Amino acid sequence: MDLIKETARRKTFAIISHPDAGKTTLTEKFLLFGGAIQTAGAVKSNKIRKTATSDFMEIEKQRGISVATSVMGFEYGGKRVNILDTPGHKDFAEDTYRTLTAVDSVILVVDCVKGVEEQTEKLMEVCRMRQTPVIIFINKMDREGRNPFELLDELEHKLQISVRPLTWPISQGQTFKGVYNLYKKELNLFDANTTRISESNIRVNDLNDPELEKWIPESFCKKLREDVALIEGVYEPFHKETYRSGLLAPVFFGSAINNFGVRELLETFLAVAPSPDEREATERIVKASEEAMSGFVFKIHANLDPNHRDRTAFFRICSGSFERNKFYYHTRLKKKIRFSSPTQFMANEKSVVDESWPGDVIGLYDNGSLKIGDSLTEGEELHFRGIPSFSPEIFKALENRDPMKAKQLDKGVRQLTEEGVAQLFIQHGARKIIGTVGELQFDVIKFRLEHEYGAQCDFTPLRFKKAFWVTSANKEMLEEFLRRKWNAIAHDKEDHPVFFAESEWMMKTAREDYPELEFHTTSEFK
């Protein structure tokens, strides 16, 4: 009984955005609502500013912050809310992609001045891949932004998802008056305020009621009536099921910094967002309501003190309840292990937890036996899907600068890539190629190899632009391709062949010349 009840009241999600759109501000307001923090400014942005590219101490400091804020749990209206934090810096995008595999839904924050930015598009691609339900919050309405209809068009076009506004702004910037809640038929008037958390709403059943002019100037009323008529005519009504299938994104307008529109967003989110349900494992679909515990590791965080090389593995529970000190089956190592001090994260506090439920993310102390993607069960052979490696975009060959430390270098590179800092590919059985999403990772690797493993390395940039995992039912064609393209072929950690393309054109000709090959942009393919 507890299992069903606890699962149904959990909402595990991530807030994602292009840096600076307002993710940190919105997270903080949510925590204020949940009473998890008392003052604004308590949540530290874990974004690594551009100026910090070569400032290692800054990276370390930021990494420290990001572990503290990796998961933020709080209670609100009888629900247990788990927000999984994602790094803002684009160079850490892969970390974000992996975190998205551990959530049940997403809130996407878009800046009304800038619209859909590059990082947003990429994050959305990952959501689409997994059919993750998305709610969009258009932020900074207190600024002179773009026309809201134009923004909706851009969202549909660039993010390839249908949208449905649930609130509608009444003007914006200097003359921003508030929003009309199309669903509840309520007017919510704007009052710039950064600390207040209550909002009073005015019921307006009929927008044609002249009473409306009591609240907002006549010209704004006229515009609102026209806009709403247009919305009702053009956009499909909101359907929870279409949203939950990842096909329709409800849209809210507001201003996070002014705490405006945040409560509506949070309450609608809690009402419509999915609780933990099913998860796909290679073997079968696992239901959250199953008694037997199962889950997977999606993130590893190393302790940066070289004297204590222990790590925290972030584990998402998919079914059953996770109990402290109980033996669980590690399906990759085929052995039983137990954890004496699993930790839960409530706001910015960490504490040992005796029992956790589907949707929860707990920190497991790890001395090297857990890897990203590992599954724990009560004995069943299960391997959860959806934790792939994503195609990197920057490739460099790793050179050892100190032949006496070859062993340390090998060990360091292996462990760092297991942690997900970067991907390692082996070419021609020996040459190590590191693939990342951002330049910053190379600085991190170099720094950590030196400080934690005593190894020295250099990187030689390579011309490759994208990696594709290659498979084919036609073994002969695959063999021929691997032979002919040997210069651009390497193997990943599972020994799967990967093709490095130097350009779009090269990719196109490879597809044309070898029509029976399949080129995948993630390491997970059926």
Using CB under 6 A, list all residues that contact ligand G4P.
17, 19-25, 45, 47, 88, 139-140, 142-143, 255-258
Using the minimum distance from each CB to ligand G4P, give the nearer residue, 132 or 255: 255
The closest alpha carbon to 521, from 504, 498, 505, 493, belongs to 498
CB of 266 to ligand G4P, least distance (A): 15
Using the minimum distance from each CB to ligand G4P, give the nearer residue, 130 or 143: 143
300 within 8 A of 294, measured Cβ to Cβ: no
CB of 142 to ligand G4P, least distance (A): 5
CB of 197 to ligand G4P, least distance (A): 15
CB of 285 to ligand G4P, least distance (A): 34
The Cα 402–Cα 58 span in angstroms is 27
CB of 97 to ligand G4P, least distance (A): 17
CB of 199 to ligand G4P, least distance (A): 14
Residue found under tokens 């090269």: 506
CB of 10 to ligand G4P, least distance (A): 24
The Cα 329–Cα 335 span in angstroms is 6
DSSP assignment letter at 515: T
Using the minimum distance from each CB to ligand G4P, give the nearer residue, 70 or 258: 258
The Cα 167–Cα 182 span in angstroms is 5
SS3 call for 62: helix
Residue found under tokens 């059926």: 526
Using the minimum distance from each CB to ligand G4P, give the nearer residue, 45 or 82: 45
> What is the residue-wise DSSP string for 254-304?
-BTTTTBSHHHHHHHHHHHSPPS-EEEBSS-EEETT-SS-EEEEEEEEE-S
The closest alpha carbon to 13, from 91, 122, 88, 86, belongs to 86
12 within 8 A of 104, measured Cβ to Cβ: yes
The Cα 138–Cα 325 span in angstroms is 45
CB of 442 to ligand G4P, least distance (A): 23
Using the minimum distance from each CB to ligand G4P, give the nearer residue, 95 or 142: 142
Can you say how many angstroms the Cα of residue 224 is from the centroid of all Cα atoms in its chain? Answer: 35
Burial class (CB in 10 A: 0-12, 13-18, 19+), 361: buried
Using the minimum distance from each CB to ligand G4P, give the nearer residue, 195 or 487: 195
Binding residues for GTP: 17-24, 85-89, 139-142
The residue type at 240? K
CB of 258 to ligand G4P, least distance (A): 6
Residue 316 tokens, joined: 């998402």
Binding residues: 17-24, 85-89, 139-142
Using the minimum distance from each CB to ligand G4P, give the nearer residue, 110 or 155: 110
The Cα 85–Cα 87 span in angstroms is 7
168 within 8 A of 227, measured Cβ to Cβ: yes
The Cα 99–Cα 299 span in angstroms is 7
Strands 497-501 and 518-520: what pairing?
unpaired
Using the minimum distance from each CB to ligand G4P, give the nearer residue, 88 or 373: 88
Using the minimum distance from each CB to ligand G4P, give the nearer residue, 138 or 498: 138
